[in-house]
Structure 1
């Protein structure tokens, strides 16, 4: 049995090795494993959880790099498919610390990770996983949308986490993104999102009201990320307001994935909500102080040291 199975995006992150300048002026780049659900699995594996990712790559050298990197980080790649035709996605970013990190997605019209089908899934493994993590992006196209629905239908126990991660450029319209997120929200029992994402999911932006709306929608845990104001988390009997951990930010893009992997650790270990959120906050800060995402994911001891 897996502690965690994630499903969704994978690819190659191509990050500039110069900061504070636009892509037009960058001269050298670094290549890293990318894709938010894949990075969450890596983050969880760094904490000792048995993690796997369900995704797909193209039949190209970048696809082989992705598979090698997934295995190298200790994540099970048994559910990583190879699709003939579309290329493995590549993502560029610009790095303007402390809080401006534009992303440029080169995913084509129908990337491999959105070609997952219900028939390709190991539903028994998904059912038995202690935590199942999915994101809004996986709902943006068929057959991935149907694959997600099948996976969620298989879940009868454990923690099912909906990362409300909403990237408008990856959707046909804002209305479609909103409707599909709201359609599948009742199939989760944990929701994680920033202010824009929770507003998309429940129609309100105020953190307290949004957290309550998520609880009313059936969540056992609602986590609202508020940027420089910290994180608000609510359950039926706990409320946590965690301030950001102070670090010198280098690249904030991977912080949310480190946060997510740490949340999974807290769920698996049965930690209190307060311990989970404060630990996850520190994990996110650890990665924000570094250039890479997957390569920078901390161990449990490294997070404790930062705390």
Structure 2
């Protein structure tokens, strides 16, 4: 039995004797989000901004920490004041920053957005000449800690460029499908070497480095895959939600989660169980970060051993709460807030 009095339904391998074991270790992006404090106006007309901790993998760690989980991130920042700010913010959120290191000569990434509720939130990434979080190197990794974590969370962005790609695949191989290994499909075409990408129409040969082979390598080590329809298409070639989920299972994962936007979320597992739940209706303020809240809540529910539909409803509720707020990291909900929505 696990917390909440429910029986485990996921075969979680939990190494014994690990004094420093984390519930969740997330590996991937970090940066500073500068979000406008005025909504419904273009960036050129915004007069003031709020500064927040950002980056998808980092936000997932924050979301899980808010739900009571012990979390850490593996990432890199610039050796600059924004990097200092990110360390401070991580500690304030209760996320361990021991594996957040500096890269000399590369600035900490900054991301701006425009806010046009309910469904238009353009992002502007400043990650030039290269983001420090893509400079994670295999020889820097604490592979013992990666293996011991109850959940290891990695992202598609981590596969987009070297040496991050090798580091990500090294971590996955060392983990060897222990515990819960989550692949956030996280497709950001602007982070890959440029090619002819059109929304909803990935073509073989369109990229200098094709993403799908690297996605397939990562899937071979993952036990859980999470993505929206475009991300599932990149990983599997299928855009239909049910077909995409089945193809993810065919590639060896035990749980496939397909986010369908206004149609809700579909989940299938290797035991033949399925759950399809609608979104939670909210007045959207900023949709950015909702997926990261979903991810942190997904980790929490899996670790708690809840049944599949309960996990999906809980994760949907967490995402909806963040969509109803301006920020990402600081908007992540506490358990009582999710329960109130449910």
Which interval holds the TM-score relative to the shorter structure?
Answer: over 0.9
Question: Where does residue 290 of structure 1 map in the other structure?
Answer: 325
Matched ranges for 1:83-232 at <5 A: 83-156=103-176, 157-172=178-193, 173=195, 175=207, 176-232=210-266
- How far apart, CA to CA, are the structure 2 residues paired with 1:109 and 1:189? 34
Question: What TM-score comes out, normalization by structure 2 length?
Answer: 0.89
Confirm whether residue 67 of structure 1 aligns to residue 87 of structure 2.
yes
- How far apart, CA to CA, are the structure 2 residues paired with 1:302 and 1:200? 34
Please point out which of 47, 68, 75 is paired with 2:67.
47
- How far apart, CA to CA, are the structure 2 residues paired with 1:70 and 1:87? 18
| Structure 1 residue 267 displacement after superposition | 1.3
What SS does the aligned partner of 2:58 have? Answer: helix
| Structure 1 residue 266 displacement after superposition | 1.0
The worse-fitting range, judged by mean Cα deviation, of 152-161 and 61-70 is 152-161
What SS does the aligned partner of 2:98 have? Answer: coil
| Structure 1 residue 149 displacement after superposition | 1.1
Structure 1 residue runs of 5 or longer lacking an equivalent are none
- How far apart, CA to CA, are the structure 1 residues paired with 2:50 and 2:213? 37
- How far apart, CA to CA, are the structure 2 residues paired with 1:110 and 1:184? 23
Kindly provide the CA deviation profile for residues 218-249 of structure 1, in whole angstroms up to 9, marking residues without a partner as x.
11000000000000001123111110001000
| Structure 1 residue 109 displacement after superposition | 2.8
- How far apart, CA to CA, are the structure 1 residues paired with 2:155 and 2:134? 12
Question: Where does residue 274 of structure 1 map in the other structure?
Answer: 309
What SS does the aligned partner of 1:67 have? Answer: helix
- How far apart, CA to CA, are the structure 1 residues paired with 2:113 and 2:212? 26
Kindly provide the CA deviation profile for residues 3-36 of structure 1, in whole angstroms up to 9, marking residues without a partner as x.
0000010000000011111101111111000000
Question: Where does residue 102 of structure 2 map in the other structure?
Answer: 82
Confirm whether residue 34 of structure 1 aligns to residue 68 of structure 2.
no
Kindly provide the CA deviation profile for residues 266-289 of structure 1, in whole angstroms up to 9, marking residues without a partner as x.
111111111111000000000000
* Larger helix fraction of residues: 1
- How far apart, CA to CA, are the structure 1 residues paired with 2:253 and 2:299? 15
Structure 2 residue runs of 5 or longer lacking an equivalent are 1-20, 196-205
Confirm whether residue 303 of structure 1 aligns to residue 341 of structure 2.
no
Q: How many equivalent residue pairs?
A: 307
Larger gyration radius, structure 1 or structure 2: 2
Q: CA RMSD in A?
A: 0.9
